[in-house]
């Protein structure tokens, strides 16, 4: 257990509303990631962070923003949710610098109506 | 060049058989190749990983075969069990912190 929690675990929202997902870790890992998982696409990186206030874009970052004001928390915000953002969102952590293994949270299932 | 192509998409094997999942890549700068296992409703978890300086790595019933010249690597599951039924993902990395993922293989082991 890598001490990762995600909240909420399930969410239903309407098109056009902002949504924030939270990832919390208890082990002070440097790297944190947000992925989305969709059938046929595997895992696609949205954004990642390599330290407090240090973030960068992944391959599918359009429509998403992130913030990391504390080591333990990494927030993913959908600025204005669209139906194409219906997905399962996973947070992951890694130590970095030789610790390539990524440990995943339990996921958040998001439905945008 | 950043892609990792995984096949097959799905696989059904009888208990005791040896399912084989294949991945291919183009970028020769990749230096770390993990396999992850995901059960329904859970996040992926590291199963086994290999670096390009070895051709094979075995952990329990799981084996990675790596062919550097062909830019391919594969996962073999010996004496497969119904409990191995899951989705398997290969991935590759050229840094310590970012993975490029295959699309996944849904494996079903029939009793």
Burial A62-86 (b: 16+ CB within 10 A, else e): eebbbbbeeebebbbebeebeeebb
- Asked if B43 and A104 come within 8 Å (Cβ–Cβ), the reply is yes
A40 contacts in chain B (CB < 8 Å): 9, 103
- Between A100 and A32, whose confidence is greater? A32
With cut-offs at 50, 70 and 90, classify the pLDDT of residue A28.
confident
d(CA B87, CA B72): 19
Per-residue pLDDT, B85: 98
pLDDT at A101: 85
Residue B89 belongs to domain spanning: 4-110
d(CA A62, CA A56): 12
Determine phi and psi for A37, rounding to 5 degrees: -125, 125
CATH code assigned at A104: 2.60.40.10
**Number of independent structural domains in chain A:** 1
Residue A77 · residue A19 · CB < 8 Å: yes
Mean pLDDT over residues B19-35, rounded?
94
Residue B82: phi, psi to the nearest 5?
-55, -30
Nearest CB among B42, B46, B103 relative to A106 is that of: B42
Task: CATH number of the domain at B73, please.
Answer: 2.60.40.10
- What distance in Å separates the CA atoms of residue B4 and residue A78, rounded to the nearest whole number? 28
Minimum CA–CA partner of A4 in chain B: B43
pLDDT, tens digit (0-9, with 9 covering 90-100), for A30-49: 899 999 999 878 899 999 99
Chain A residue numbers with beta carbons less than 8 Å from the beta carbon of B90 are none
Structure tokens at B80: 């497969």
- In this predicted structure, what is the pLDDT of residue A98? 54
* pLDDT band (50, 70, 90) for residue B8: very high
Cβ–Cβ contact B48 with A under 8 A: no
Which DSSP symbol is given to A84? G
Percent of chain A surpassing pLDDT 90: 80
Using the beta-carbon criterion (under 8 Å), do B45 and A107 form an inter-chain contact?
Answer: no
Whether B34 has its CB under 8 Å from any CB of chain A: the answer is yes
Distances (CA, A) of A37 to A65, B17, B74: 17, 29, 22
Closest listed residue to residue B78, CA positions, set B19, B7, B36: B19
Query: A67: distance to nearest CA of chain B, Å?
Result: 18
Domain, as residue range, for A27: 4-112
Query: Residue B96: its pLDDT value, please?
Result: 58
**Domains of chain B: total:** 1
Does the pLDDT value for residue B65 go beyond 90? yes
B85 at A interface, C-beta within 8 A? no
Tokens of B96: 């310590």
């Amino acid at each position: 257990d890598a001490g990762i929690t995600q909240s909420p675990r399930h969410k239903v929202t309407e098109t056009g509303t902002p949504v924030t997902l939270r990832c919390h870790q208890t082990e002070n890992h440097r790297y944190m990631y947000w992925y989305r998982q969709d059938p046929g696409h595997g895992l696609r990186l949205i954004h990642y962070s390599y330290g407090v206030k240090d973030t960068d874009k992944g391959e599918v970052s359009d429509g998403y923003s992130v913030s990391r004001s504390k080591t333990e928390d990494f927030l993913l915000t959908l600025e204005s949710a669209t139906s194409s953002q219906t997905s399962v969102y996973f947070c992951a952590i890694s130590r970095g610098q030789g610790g390539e293994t990524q440990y995943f949270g339990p996921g958040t299932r998001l439905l945008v109506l | 060049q950043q892609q990792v192509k995984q096949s097959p998409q799905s696989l059904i094997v009888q208990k005791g058989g040896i399912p084989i999942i294949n991945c291919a890549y183009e970028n020769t700068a990749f230096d770390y190749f993990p396999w992850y296992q995901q059960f329904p409703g859970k996040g992926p978890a590291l199963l086994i990983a290999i670096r390009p300086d070895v051709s094979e790595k075995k952990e329990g019933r799981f084996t990675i075969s790596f062919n550097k010249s062909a830019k391919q690597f594969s996962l073999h599951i010996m004496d497969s069990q119904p409990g191995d039924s899951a989705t398997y993902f290969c991935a590759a990395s050229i840094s310590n912190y970012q993975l490029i993922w295959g699309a996944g293989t849904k494996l079903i082991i029939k009793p």
